[in-house]
Amino acid sequence: MDKFSLPSAMSINAVFQNFPQLTTENLILRETTITDAPAVFQIFADHEVTKYHDVETAISIKQAQFLIQRRAERFQNQEAIRWGIARKEDNAIIGSCGYSIRNRFQAEIGYELARDHWRKGFMTEALSAIIQWGFEQLDLNRIEALVMLENNASIKLLKKLQFAEEGVLREYGFWKGRFHDLKILSLLKKDYSQFI
- pLDDT, one tens digit per residue, over 92-135 is 999 999 999 998 899 999 999 999 999 999 999 999 999 999 99
d(CA 78, CA 178): 30
Sign of the C-alpha dihedral computed for residues 159, 123, 74 and 22 taken in this order: positive
| Element at 25 (helix H, strand E) | none
- pLDDT, one tens digit per residue, over 1-28 is 444 444 443 467 788 889 999 999 999 9
Q: What is the pLDDT of residue 12?
A: 72
Instruction: Tell me the pLDDT of the chain averaged across its residues.
Output: 92
CATH superfamily of 11-144: Gcn5-related N-acetyltransferase (GNAT) (3.40.630.30)
Res. 195: pLDDT tops 60: no
Res. 194: pLDDT tops 90: no
d(CA 195, CA 148): 27
Mean pLDDT of 48-75: 95
Percent of the chain with pLDDT over 90: 84
Q: What is the pLDDT of residue 14?
A: 82
